Copies of this chain bind each other. A is one copy, B any other.
Amino acid sequence: MSRRSGGRAARQALRAAAPPAEARAVWPGLAGGSYNPLSESAMQAVFDAALDLLERLGMGQAPPEFIERVTAAGGSIDEHGRLLFPSDLVRHTIDIAAKEFTLHSFDGQSGLDIGGDRVYYSTAGAGVMMLDHETKRFRHSTLQDVYDTGRLVDTLDNIDMYIRTVVARDMETARMLDLNWAYAVMASTSKPVGTSMFEPGHVHEIIAMYDMALGGEGEFAKRPFALANNTFVVPPLRFAEESALSLAEQARVGIPITLLSAGQAGATSPAALAGSLAQALAECLAALVCVNLISPGHPCVMGMWPFVSDLRTGAMSGGSGEEAVLNAASAQLINWIGLPSGVAAGMADSKLPDNQAGHEKALTVGLAAHAGSNIVFESAGMLASIMAGSHEALVIDNDMIGAVARTVRGIEIDEGTLSTQVIEEVIRGEGHFLGHEQTLSMMQSEYVYPLVGDRLSPDDWVDAGAKSVEETAHDYVTRTLASHLPMHLDPSRDAAIREAFPIELPPLASMRG
């Protein structure tokens, strides 16, 4: 096994390519991989430890289908009833597993090529509250929040994908929640989306709904625009029963899956960061084996999300330096193995979109991106260690992601960009670069401008009302939610869906006015 080749070459080729027509300075899928927290031998050691864990300890509480398939492929059940995975089976699975896949968008315009060193930014969840901007207090999150968050994402250039960030607590059953989640994310944005599905039966209902939305049976499988985030494990090394059953159905219906392991160091995984890496990798590999036995080459994202505890209290700490380096290392490790990676970053511990939230988010997202995480999950909109969502945080985070993406793009070095000729012209001429042709030509292509971030002089800032970025973001939220109503879902198909499923979101037509 070796680090997949071509990372740097691909990055350099990408840098050499002209920016797209609209001449943005950043674009989806910029190549990461310049940050390597682990040495090659360290990665090998973590991989070996994960194989050892799977071979000796395996997974507890495996559903019958997994037991049947894994034992038929060479695995076994030990005296504790745990399902053991031989190393050869795991290695073979890695060989046949999908290395890349396309996650489509609903409108076919903005699909994501997941894999390689390409980096995309997605929300994820799922919080149970929303922060109210005016009162600075939390309230229960609702289905309308799920829809509104998606509408905001639909307008934010640097967020490539929308996975529901909060629980619709106004839904009364798990089925109502799953169906309405799936509906709301799809209806809210034409970007690729994602959700989770608590029961296996819901998987089939959701795919039927998505088929209707796209115009007929089998359409979703042709261009899957949604990702299923599946938390298949109760760490350490034990399957979560319902989620594991859903996993099998997701493999069968053809929806791309994030195999999500979120052990919490010091609680459900080792306090030693290295150990929490090894355990999370073992868990994700176990799920990868099971999915590939059902559907060889099924599109999967290795969702190593090693969480961290504040050991003083046992509470989760999503915004810590430990969290930042653990998830970046996870991305590096999965990319080195050669599989699609998706880690967690942007999980601020702060309860407000304040300075603490800002620095926690930028460090975690920045390092995950530079480590090459194919999907940087949780990258926008979450607070309170992902217990809560915030529209204002989402909008500010979009600026942060734009800056991160600019650093991921890097610096193109060639004879032209080195500008020795330009410097000579300036020195022999006007003495400054302000009016030089190069400066004017690079205004859009070399520089990213924030949507809500402030760059005024102190005096101008006071004249403009001396607003914090939270206040400016709130203005954006208010304006956008009052005006932006995505139109990609055909009204007649929408009506048919509402006939067939108990959709609780008010009819889109009524919202459209």
Contact = CB atoms under 8 A, between A and B. Distances in A.
Interface of A: 8, 12, 34-39, 42, 45-46, 49, 52-53, 56-57, 60, 80, 129, 136-138, 236-237, 265-279, 308, 310-315, 317, 319-322, 324-326, 328-329, 349-363, 366-367, 370, 384-385, 387-388, 393, 396-397, 399-400, 402-407, 409-414, 416-420, 422-424, 426-428, 431-434, 436, 438-439, 442-443, 446-450, 452-458, 461-462, 466, 468-470
Given A353-B355, A362-B360, A388 B418 contact: no
A198 to B, nearest CB: 23
A196 B421 CA distance: 33
Nearest to A353: B355
A272 B427 contact: no
A3 to B, nearest CB: 14
Contacts of A385: 455
B363 A404 contact: yes
Among A45, A129, A367, A404, chain B packs the most CB atoms within 10 A around the CB of A367
Contact of A350 (B324, B410, B469): B469
B446 A271 contact: yes
Contacts of A269: 423, 433
A414 B258 CA distance: 29
A324 B400 CA distance: 12
Contacts of A422: 270, 272, 275
A321 B273 contact: no
Contacts of A328: 407
Given A267-B433, A358-B358, 15 more contacts: A137-B462, A236-B431, A268-B432, A269-B433, A270-B439, A273-B412, A274-B411, A275-B422, A311-B443, A356-B396, A359-B399, A363-B404, A363-B407, A367-B407, A384-B457
Nearest to A354: B468
Among A56, A405, A431, chain B packs the most CB atoms within 10 A around the CB of A431
A380 to B, nearest CB: 11
